[in-house]
Structure 1
Amino acid sequence: MMALEITTLEENTEGEHTGMIAEHGLSFLVEMNSISVLFDTGRSSAFLQNAQKLNKPLDAVEHIVLSHGHYDHSGGFRPLVETYPNHPYTLYTGDGFFNPKYARFNASYQYLGNDFNTLYLRQHGIKHEIIKEKKEIFPGIWMVTNFFNLHPEETIHPRFVVRTSNGWMPDHFSDEVLLVVESSKGLIVLVGCSHPGILNMLDTVRQQFSSPIYALLGGTHLVESDMSRTKTTIDEFKRQGISILGISHCSGNDAIVLATENSEMHFHNTLGSSLILEE
């Protein structure tokens, strides 16, 4: 029998276990039989303390996937490495993960990127794989990137920019990746912030896999959408037959309410939530 458990180690909103630290960020632990994969690390060491509170030791985790190069998804990576020194990690990222990412507000720029670089990885003996296409990192666990752009309503806010040798350029989030976990019920899709557009990302998954999407967990970045687009997107999730919606983080309150109302399966994926399948 296959046991699959996906636990939210970091999220903006406190859950039932009030002894954990909720902060703006996201981190999932995926456990499938003897395999453990960490998807995002929140913005600080808080997810490590939360894992301890949940009796989820992370000393066996060797594979880490970071959804994109923003601090609230990668900020806990350095504390993880320094908590478990000399551990044989492999870090998986998309292409452009280390590009210096900023938010622009009028004449000011605010750095949003990572607090480590490739030199840090070399100094700590961490293997780094840059993913540019679909890749299976364990049997039944896939990374997907290079997303379609089929929904013109899904635009990236112009405040997100990248600093380059040729000046400031729009951040197209070419580094964004998602995780797909196969189960007998269908695909479980984990997303970080969905900057390229959540419908674009799900279209890409459906094109590359024959199984239907069973569950969607994580940030959909609908927080900046108007109510019309938010409702259309949630309706599309349901039209596609996604059985479980566990959205959170940058999804926004309107999307979470629309997704969870009148449903016994959809839930606000608060800190400490677990999706558990025993097959």
Structure 2
Amino acid sequence: MRKLQVTILVENTVGVSVGILAEWGLSMLLDFGDEKILFDAGEQGNLINNAQILGYDLRHIERIILSHGHYDHTGGLFKLLQYRGAIPVYAHPDLFAGHFGKGGEGQANRYIGVPHCLKLLESAGAEFHWHRKPFELRPGLWLSGEIPRETPFEHIEDQLIEIKGENAVHDRIKDDLSLFYVTDRGLIILLGCAHSGLVNIVEHAKRVTNENKVRAIIGGTHLGRASLDQQLKTIDYLRGLDLECLAPNHCTGLGVLSKLVTEFPSAFKWAMAGSTLDFK
């Protein structure tokens, strides 16, 4: 039987845990019993403090997975490497692409990519492993690889751009990765920001793992900035999954969270910093 404990180390909000620090970002600790893996590193490095308060020593994690190259998922990596030392880091080869947010009228575009350069992170101990295609990290645990964009109503927001030389183009965020874990009772899908679209990710997960039952969805859905049409159609899609656990957070947005609480009262779980979700 495959078990998994997911602990939210960093998120925008905090529950009742004394001493836990919130920040705009996301980091999750995945405990498989025989191995601990970190999924994303948040923005500021508060994951180290929060882990210690929760009884975890991040020097004992064995691998790091980065969902994509935005600052709020990678900003804490350098501080963690200084604390932990050399460790394998899995990501998409476009992690260090020129990710920017489009500036308003009269304002400059804002860099929102990885805050530290590749050379600095490698010097601190990051041993990067690059993957464009699905890759099985351990029995049943899959790194998604690039997510096919097939759902007509799912779109990447226009204000996200990529700077290539002197040109600014719409950022497709090809480096957006998720994790899929196959259990006896169905798939557990772990999201960074789901820039590729939640429906696209779930359908890709089914194909990659050859498992149609989705047990749980955890992480950022990026529905907070999606159109109302996309929000409603995504919720309608989720109704058909018969989820055991729906634990959205981070970029989901409070408005969408309130809708999901109402729509999925038995499956919905709050996933604030300090929260733990057990799957047995």
Normalised to the residue count of structure 1, the TM-score between the two structures is 0.94
- Relative to structure 1, the CA distance from residue 203 to residue 2 in structure 2 (aligned partners, 3 Å threshold; closer, same or farther) is closer
* Displacement of 1:237: 1.1
- Relative to structure 1, the CA distance from residue 125 to residue 80 in structure 2 (aligned partners, 3 Å threshold; closer, same or farther) is closer
Question: 1:247, 1:268 within 8 Å by CA — same for their partners in 2?
Answer: yes
* Displacement of 1:62: 2.3
Give the % identical residues. 28
* Displacement of 1:259: 1.7
- 1:109-146 Cα distance to aligned partner (Å, 9 max, x none): 11101122221243234321111010011222210022
Query: What runs of 5+ residues in structure 1 fail to find an aligned partner?
Result: none
Aligned partner of 2:86 in structure 1 is 88
- Local SS of the residue matching 1:190: strand
Aligned partner of 2:258 in structure 1 is 257
Counterpart CA distance in 2 for 1:164 and 1:228 is 31
- 1:181-229 Cα distance to aligned partner (Å, 9 max, x none): 2222211111011111111111111122222211000011111124343
Question: 2:148, 2:204 within 8 Å by CA — same for their partners in 1?
Answer: yes
Report matched runs for 1:214-229 at 5 Å.
Answer: 214-229=215-230
Counterpart CA distance in 2 for 1:125 and 1:22 is 26
Letter in 2 for 1:145: G
Letter in 2 for 1:33: G
Aligned partner of 1:241 in structure 2 is 242
Question: 1:11, 1:26 within 8 Å by CA — same for their partners in 2?
Answer: yes
**Is 1:98 aligned to 2:96, yes or no?**
yes
Letter in 2 for 1:88: A
Counterpart CA distance in 1 for 2:126 and 2:191 is 24
- Local SS of the residue matching 2:41: coil
Query: What runs of 5+ residues in structure 2 fail to find an aligned partner?
Result: none
Counterpart CA distance in 1 for 2:151 and 2:279 is 32
Counterpart CA distance in 2 for 1:45 and 1:100 is 22
Question: 1:248, 1:270 within 8 Å by CA — same for their partners in 2?
Answer: yes
- 1:22-73 Cα distance to aligned partner (Å, 9 max, x none): 1111000000011111000110111110001100111111210111100100
Question: 1:234, 1:255 within 8 Å by CA — same for their partners in 2?
Answer: no
Question: 1:260, 1:268 within 8 Å by CA — same for their partners in 2?
Answer: no
